[in-house]
Amino acid sequence: MASQENFEFTTLKEVIIQLLQNTGYLVDANTTGVATGFDNIDAVTKGFQAGELSVIASKPGSGKTAFLLSLLFNIASKSGKTVGVFSPERSAVKMFQRMINSETRHSVQQIMSGAIKDSEKEAINTILYTLSKADIYVDDTTCLMEKDFHKRCKQLKNKFGADIIFVDGLEILSFPDVSDIDDDTREPHYVLSDMKKVAKELDLPIVVFSHLANTANFDDKKMPSIENVYDFMPNIADSIYLIHRKNADEKANIIIAHHPAVKEPVIIPLKFIESIDKFVDL
């Protein structure tokens, strides 16, 4: 019996992605990592780099989840990258529903009930088709043990070909050996160190979302700084980004507070469209 030959085929998706990358529409030619899709951020950082750990921190109510979903759409739908997401705070279904709401400007309930104008249906179907092609894999398990997190990250890369992994909150991992210690920062310190280890081992960018520390007397008019994150973060994370947005204000800033490419904090202005819960370039 003759041995089975393996043939290579080219897909239209591959050609389109290559075409758009070459024209600079998706990824700037100078971007060396996974592009955020925000032009001015990528111009400074060159994207999220393989093997590095990044932290994105904000005060509650600043649009943390909206920024995460904006990044997911830019990276997976616009740039064609494969993305893994650990989301212990909200289910995968709720996360995807919120993304659909944002991109179509209609709730999932409206779409399912058919309460859409005929003139809008074609555009919405196109958006839904585009979203359906996005390679986003969400794990919404809460309180994973360290070894389970490692296994799932390896599967995301080896089986699904993940280019980047996002983690929505430091609370995802549980370390029983340190949880009883009377120090609120001890366990987050272990968690972040462990994620840095995984990023290096898998040679993937891992991006962790976190709340700012000590914000009880924080003034919304004042931009956060590196002093507002946990003390251990700058020693572990390769990059730290801060989200600043006043409530009900469409103006937002991403502060690149700690990064190998910057000596001083860099402020990148963005626009927050509250009606669709989305961050966009100015």
Of the candidates 210, 166, 169, the residue with the CA atom closest to the CA atom of residue 73: 166
CA atoms within 13 A on the CB side of 148: 11
Question: Is 107 within 8 Å of 96 (Cβ atoms)?
Answer: no
The angle that helices 118-132 and 92-104 make with each other, rounded to 10 degrees, is 130
Q: Which helix (H) or strand (E) holds 61?
A: none
Distance CA 197, CA 256 (A): 22
List the strands of the sheet with 136-139, edge to edge: 136-139, 83-86, 164-168, 206-211, 53-58, 239-245, 251-258, 266-273, 278-281
Q: In degrees rounded to 5, what are phi and psi of residue 134?
A: -70, 130
User: How many other β-carbons are positioned within 10 Å of the β-carbon of residue 137?
Assistant: 19
Least confident of 68-77, 99-108, 228-237: 99-108
Has residue 256 got a pLDDT over 90? yes
Q: At 7, which amino acid appears? A: F
What pLDDT is stored for residue 130 in this prediction?
83
The dihedral region occupied by 51, where left means phi > 0, alpha psi between -120 and 50, and beta the remainder, is: left
pLDDT digits (tens, 9 = 90+) for 147-184: 899 999 999 999 999 999 999 988 777 765 554 545 56
CATH number of the structural domain 30-281: 3.40.50.300
Question: How does residue 206 score in pLDDT terms, banded at 50, 70 and 90?
Answer: very high
